[in-house]
A and B are shown apart, each in its own frame.
Chain A
C-alpha cells in the first residue's frame, strides 16, 4: 500500500512540477493537457477499450474464437433459462425504484420537522452504508426456515411471526417467482434511505410562501401534498427513481449472496458473472453485459432530459 501511494504521489508531483514550469498565455493549454493526461489514459485503457472489446466479444462463441453473429443475443431472448433471468430483471427494475421511492417519500413527509428528525432519518439511512453482502446476510436470517415439526423452533423472525399468527413456516427463498420479491425487499430496504434523503432535501427547499399561500386558500394536508409538495419535488422524484433503477439493473451481490441465482432467482447482472466466470461461456457473458449497457442508456437519457426540462422552466 505504501509503495502504491508513494509511486502515485511521485507521478502527481512530476505533473505539478512540470506544470509549474510552463508559463501563462498559450502555455495554459499544455498545463490542461498535462493535468488530463493520466485520466484520459486510464479511461481509455480501463473503460473505452474494454467496453469496445466486450461488444465485439459478444458476437463470438463460448470460447471466444469463432464468429457467431447475433446467436448469443438470440439465446438470451429465446432459451427458457435466460427468459427467466429477463423476467426477474424486469421485476426488479419495475418494483424496486417505485416501492423504495414511495417508502422514502412517505417517511420524509412524516418525519419532516418532527422531533428527533435527524435520529429518525439516520435509522432509515443506515442500511445505505452497509454492504449488499452484509445486508443479504441480515435478511437471510430474517427469512431463515426451520421444518415445521414438534420440538423445532423457528429462528428466523418472519417465520416466527407466521407461527405466532397460527400459520405454517415457509421457505421464502425457494418458491419461484415469489422468492425474487423477497430478494427485492432487501434492495428496497437499502435504497429507501437514499430516496428519503434526497426527497427530504427537496421538500425543505420548497419556498415557504408557496406553502403559506396554499394554506391561506384552505388546502387540506392531503391536498397540500398532492398539489404543492409533489409538483415541487417532481424533478427530484425522477432523479431518485432513475438512480435507483440504474443501481437495481446492476445488482449482483444480493442475488449471489442470498441464493446464488438458484431457484430461478438470477438476474442479468448475476447471470453475466455466472456465464463469464463459472460456466466459461464468454460470448454469452459478454452479450449479457452489453444488454445491461443497452438497458441503462434509456434510463439515463430520460433522466438527463427531465433535468434539462426542469432547468429550462
Chain B
C-alpha cells in the first residue's frame, strides 16, 4: 500500500516527530514494556546464538556439556566446519553448498524475466481476454505445490530430465510465476501512463519502452521479488527433495542437512556447523538487502 505508491523510495516513511504523539507513546514504554521487549528479543536470539557457539566447540565438549559452559571454559575450534564441509562421500556439505548456488541463480533470473514480460503485457497492452487471463494467473497463486509434484515428476521422467538441474530450475520458475506477475503488474500500474505516452509519441516501440522507460523504474520491485525468490529457493526442501531426491549430484544443502539430521541426529558437531553454513548465505543476503526485502514483503503481504 504505502510501499507500492512510492516506487522510488526504499523504506516506509518514518516521521521523526517529537510531538505529542511521541510523548503519548513514551508513556507506553514503561519499564514493564521495555522488559517485555527485551525478553522477546532474547527468546528470539538465544537459540541461534547457542547453536552458533556450539559449532565452534570441540566435538567431545558439545556432546557432554551445554554451550553455556563456553563462557567459563572457552575453547574454540574450526574442526567442525572442516569436517562437515570436506568429509568424504555424501556427508561433505561443500558440494551441496555449490549445488545450492547452481540451483538458486537461474531459478531467480528466469521467472523474473518472464514475469516482467507478462506483467508488461497485462499492465500496458490492451488485448482481448486480458482480464480473464490476469484473474486466472492471480488465482493460480492458491495452488499448493504439493498438488503438482507427482504429475510433474512423471512429466520430467517422460522428458528424460530426471537427475539434472533442469527439473529444479523449471519447477521453481513455474511456481514463482503467479506471484511474480502479480507483484510486478502492481508496480507497473503505479508508473504514470503519461511517461509511456510520451515515449510512444517519440516513436519508441514496445521493446524500447520496456528497456529504456520501465526497467529503470522497476529496479526496486525486481530487486524485492528477486530477494524473495532467492530466499525461498535457497531455503526450499520439498521441491529439491522431490526432484533431486535420489541423486546427490543435484541436491542442495537443505536436503543434505535434513538427511544428516535424520541419520546422524546426535552428531551435534556436524549438525551445528552444517546448519551455520546453510544459514550464512540467506542471512548475508537478508542483511545487505533488508530494505528491499521488507518492501517486497509489504507489497506482497498487504495485497496478496
Q: 4 closest A-B pairs (Cβ-Cβ)?
A: A46-B174, A131-B235, A50-B148, A129-B286
19 sampled A-B residue pairs with Cβ under 8 A: A12-B113, A33-B127, A50-B155, A54-B151, A107-B40, A110-B29, A131-B282, A133-B237, A134-B235, A137-B271, A138-B47, A155-B62, A198-B302, A201-B3, A253-B258, A288-B146, A289-B146, A292-B144, A292-B146
* A43–B137 touching, CB < 8 Å: yes
B87 at the interface (CB under 8 A from A): no
CB neighbours of B297 from chain A (8 A): 194, 197-198
Q: Considering the chains assembled together, what is the distance between the CA atoms of A146 and B302 in angstroms?
A: 45
A174 at the interface (CB under 8 A from B): no
CB neighbours of B125 from chain A (8 A): 28-29, 31-32, 35
A290 at the interface (CB under 8 A from B): yes
**Chain A interface main SS type:** helix
CB neighbours of B113 from chain A (8 A): 8, 12
Q: Given contacts A103-B40, A133-B254, A141-B51, is CB(A43)–CB(B178) below 8 Å?
A: yes
Q: Considering the chains assembled together, what is the distance between the CA atoms of A54 and B152 in angstroms?
A: 10
User: CB < 8 Å: which of A24, A40, A48, A252 contacts B238?
Assistant: A252
CB neighbours of A95 from chain B (8 A): none
A109 at the interface (CB under 8 A from B): yes
* A4–B106 touching, CB < 8 Å: yes
* A133–B54 touching, CB < 8 Å: no
B256: shortest Cβ distance to chain A, in Å?
A: 9
- Interface 1/0 per residue, A43-81 and B, CB below 8 Å: 101111111011101000000000000000000000000
CB neighbours of A172 from chain B (8 A): none
Number of interface residues of A (CB under 8 A): 116
CB neighbours of A43 from chain B (8 A): 137, 140, 174, 177-178
B140: shortest Cβ distance to chain A, in Å?
A: 5
* B261–A257 touching, CB < 8 Å: yes
* B169–A4 touching, CB < 8 Å: yes
Number of interface residues of B (CB under 8 A): 123
A262: shortest Cβ distance to chain B, in Å?
A: 11
Q: Given contacts A47-B174, A110-B36, A296-B142, is CB(A122)–CB(B127) below 8 Å?
A: no
B225 at the interface (CB under 8 A from A): no
- Across the two chains, which residue of chain A brings its CB closest to B262? A260
Q: Please choose the segment from A85-93, A176-184, A235-243 that sits at the chain B interface, where 4 or more of its residues have CB less than 8 A away.
A: A235-243
A312 at the interface (CB under 8 A from B): no
Q: Considering the chains assembled together, what is the distance between the CA atoms of A112 and B200 in angstroms?
A: 46
Most B CB within 10 A of own CB, among A32, A211, A297: A32
Q: For chain B residues 245-304, which have a beta carbon within 8 Å of chain A?
A: 245, 254, 257-258, 261-262, 265, 268, 271-272, 274-275, 278-279, 282-283, 285-287, 290, 294, 297-298, 301-304
* A35–B51 touching, CB < 8 Å: no
* A31–B272 touching, CB < 8 Å: no
* B65–A155 touching, CB < 8 Å: yes
